[in-house]
């Protein structure tokens, strides 16, 4: 049976556009899908930039106006890989045009924007998805399965952190490629929306909703030179953020993120302690899951380091053979495979815009608590 074609229109040509394009190109080689993905058009404002990008990725055409792309008849799916401040307008337009939408995380700069985006996709009834890719690292997916099977029992603690060190130098400017992340207007927030949002999405997925939070943020470097203006610019983002809180299920949350942890590149770690068992995972060794099971015989109890490369591990029968690890990029392939499977079956696959809105609401509460110095309930 011939596969249906699914034409992708990509907005953006930066780092995330590469990870998504790679996923679109690879997914059919490894997963059985009803759709054949076609890289139809890529869109960006910087002509040379888009051109260089497309020399590698081979979209059929280049667009310079995202509105034209969004309305193009031959596009089925819009993929938004732009800075956060553009998500709202693009997603609403794409929804109105009846396109399926994949949007890079975080959903938006804040929940006010996010609510409009949710309203738009739900009104339009289009498939919608936010790229919190870490849910589909096989080790994390296995953690979800173990929790859902009740193997951890009552959960007492959920702790996560996401530590980086790339902004320690005061000489690092704000503004250009990648550096929009230091600009609060473009990004909405600093590590909270960029890094903690990942931790929060995974946490809600694994452990349910977060009820309330108390947070602390810090901006270590108060001013940076803007790459466009050459002028010093006041830095409005949070360089570091710690929060504690309660999940609806009664477990305690301890979360931290920073870009000032010397020695850590992208150390996203999570740990869940349940009555019966515990789990740890770490992005720097993403192909391993640490598992402690209290029902193991006493003298032999210990943390197991599970090498997640076997055929009975999530997604892994589609890849290589036991012992041969996959990497970061594969989580994006998995999410495209699952998204398309949902499209085939006419069901939404998470994280949807609505799911991602919940994460953004936690982020809002965190930022508000850090400002006010008081506990904040997460908006329902």
Q: Does 105 bind a copy of itself (CB under 8 A)?
A: no
Interface with a copy of itself, residue 278, by CB under 8 A: yes
For a copy of itself, which stretch binds (CB under 8 A), given 23-31, 229-237, 340-348, 350-358?
23-31
Among residues 27 and 92, whose Cβ is nearest to a copy of itself? 27
For a copy of itself, give the closer residue by CB, 148 or 310.
310
Q: Near a copy of itself by CB under 8 A, which window of 108-116, 192-200, 227-235, 261-269?
A: 261-269
Site for a copy of itself in 57-96 (CB under 8 A): 57
Q: How far is the CB of 308 from a copy of itself (least distance, A)?
A: 9
Candidate ranges 73-81, 91-99, 258-266, 346-354; the one touching a copy of itself (CB under 8 A):
258-266
- Residue 353's H or E segment, with its range, is helix 353-372
d(CA 58, CA 152): 46
- CA dist 178 and 231 (Å) reads 18
Query: Which residues make beta-bridge pairs with 35?
Result: 4
Residues numbered 361-380 forming contacts with a copy of itself, rule: CB under 8 A: 373-375
Backbone φ and ψ of 266, nearest 5°: -155, 55
Q: How far apart are CA 291 and CA 303, in angstroms?
A: 5
Q: Does 99 bind a copy of itself (CB under 8 A)?
A: no
Please give the residues from 158 up to 197 whose contact with a copy of itself meets the rule CB under 8 A.
Answer: 159, 163-166, 168
142 Cβ neighbours under 8 A, 6+ residues apart:
289, 306, 308, 313, 314
CA 299/CA 48 separation, integer angstroms: 63
User: How far is residue 256's CA from residue 261's CA, in Å, rounded to a whole number?
Assistant: 11
Measured from the CB atom, is 116 or 325 closer to a copy of itself? 325
**Among 2, 171, 231, 262, contact with a copy of itself (rule: CB under 8 A):** 262
Binders of a copy of itself among residues 284 to 323 (CB under 8 A) are 284-287, 289, 291-294, 296, 298-307, 309-310, 312-313, 319-323
Does 2 interact with a copy of itself (rule: CB under 8 A)? no
When the beta carbons of 257 and 359 are compared against a copy of itself, the nearer one is 257
Work out how close the CB of 191 gets to a copy of itself at its nearest, in angstroms, rounded to a whole number: 12
Q: Do residues 41 and 72 lie in contact, with contact meaning Cβ atoms separated by under 8 Å?
A: yes
CB of 279 to a copy of itself, least distance (A): 9
Residue range at the interface with a copy of itself (CB under 8 A); choices 72-80, 110-118, 275-283, 348-356: 275-283
**Rounded (5°) CA angle 363-141-139:** 105
Tokens describing residue 119: 């309203």
- How many residues touch a copy of itself under the rule CB under 8 A: the total is 88
Q: Mark 218-237 with x for binding to a copy of itself (rule: CB under 8 A) and - for no binding.
A: x-x-----------------
Nearest approach, Cβ of 113 to a copy of itself (angstroms)?
Answer: 26
Q: Rule CB under 8 A: choose which of 14, 25, 173, 219 binds a copy of itself.
A: 25
CA distance linking residue 308 with residue 139, whole number of Å: 6
Q: Would you give the binding string for a copy of itself spanning residues 122-161, x where CB under 8 A is met?
A: --------------------x-------------xx-x--
Token pair 């296995």 is at which residue? 142
Decide if 59 contacts 76 (C-beta within 8 A).
no
The token pair that represents 195 in the structure block: 């890094």
The 3-class SS string of 148-210 reads HCCCCCCEEEEEEEEECCCCCCCCCCECCCCHHHHCHHHHCCCHHHHHHHHHHHHHHHHHCCE
If binding is defined by CB under 8 A, does position 283 make contact with a copy of itself? yes
């Amino acid at each position: 049976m011939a596969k249906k074609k699914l034409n992708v229109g990509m907005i953006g040509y930066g780092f995330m556009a590469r990870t998504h394009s790679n996923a679109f190109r690879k997914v059919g080689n490894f997963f059985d899908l009803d759709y054949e993905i076609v890289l139809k058009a890529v869109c960006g404002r910087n002509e040379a930039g888009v051109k260089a990008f497309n020399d590698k990725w081979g979209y059929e055409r280049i667009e310079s106006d995202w509105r034209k792309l969004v309305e193009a008849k031959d596009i089925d799916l819009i993929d938004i890989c732009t800075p956060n401040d553009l998500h709202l307008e693009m997603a609403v337009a794409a929804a109105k045009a009846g396109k399926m939408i994949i949007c890079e995380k975080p959903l938006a700069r804040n929940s006010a924007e996010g609510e409009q985006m949710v309203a738009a996709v739900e009104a339009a009834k289009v498939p919608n998805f936010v790229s919190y890719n870490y849910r589909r690292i096989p080790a994390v997916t296995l953690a979800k399965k173990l929790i859902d099977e009740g193997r951890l029992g009552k959960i007492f603690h959920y702790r996560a952190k996401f530590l980086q060190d790339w902004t320690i130098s005061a000489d690092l400017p704000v503004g250009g490629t990648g550096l929009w992340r230091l600009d609060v207007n473009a990004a909405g927030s600093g590590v909270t929306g960029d890094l903690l949002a990942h931790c929060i999405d995974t946490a809600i997925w694994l452990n349910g909703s977060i009820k309330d939070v108390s947070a602390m943020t810090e901006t270590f470097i108060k001013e940076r030179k803007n790459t466009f203006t050459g002028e010093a610019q006041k830095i409005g983002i949070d360089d570091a953020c710690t929060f504690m809180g309660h999940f609806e299920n009664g477990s305690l949350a301890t979360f931290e993120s920073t870009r000032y942890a010397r020695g850590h590149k992208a150390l996203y770690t999570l740990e869940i302690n349940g009555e019966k068992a515990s789990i740890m995972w770490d992005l720097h060794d993403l192909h391993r899951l640490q598992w402690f099971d209290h029902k193991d015989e006493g003298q032999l109890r210990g943390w197991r380091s599970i090498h997640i490369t076997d055929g009975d591990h999530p997604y892994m029968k589609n890849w290589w053979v036991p012992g041969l690890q996959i990497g970061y990029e594969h989580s994006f392939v998995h999410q495209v495979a699952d998204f398309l499977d949902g499209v085939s079956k006419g069901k939404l696959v998470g994280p949807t815009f609505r799911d991602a809105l919940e994460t953004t609401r936690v982020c809002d509460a965190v930022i508000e608590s850090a400002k006010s110095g008081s506990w904040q309930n997460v908006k329902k």
